[in-house]
Amino acid sequence: MNESVKDELKGKMHELKGTVKEKVGQLTNKPELESEGQEEKVAGKIQKKVGQVEKVLGS
């Protein structure tokens, strides 16, 4: 598996984990967990985009 695909998959996993943390933080009224989830979700989106760009550039 090439690096661009790995980045995309890792990014999707971070997005998923972030979404779960965000929802759990909302349900349990823990703003710090909700914020952590939002940050992880954004990081996942960035990593996924990096993978997509690498794929386009042929890296």
21-31 pLDDT, tens digit each: 999 999 999 99
Q: What pLDDT is stored for residue 4 in this prediction? A: 86
pLDDT over threshold 80, residue 59: no
Number of domains in the chain: 1
Those residues with Cβ within 8 angstroms of residue 28's Cβ, 6 or more apart along the chain or in another chain: none
Residue 30 falls inside a structural domain: yes
In a domain, 38, yes or no: yes
Q: Taking residues 33-51, what's their average pLDDT?
A: 95
Assigned domain for 11 exists: yes
| Structural domain range at position 23 | 3-50
Percent of the chain with pLDDT strictly greater than 70: 98
Q: Is residue 55 part of a domain?
A: no
CA distance 17 to 36: 10
Give pTM, 2 decimals: 0.83
Q: Is residue 59 part of a domain?
A: no
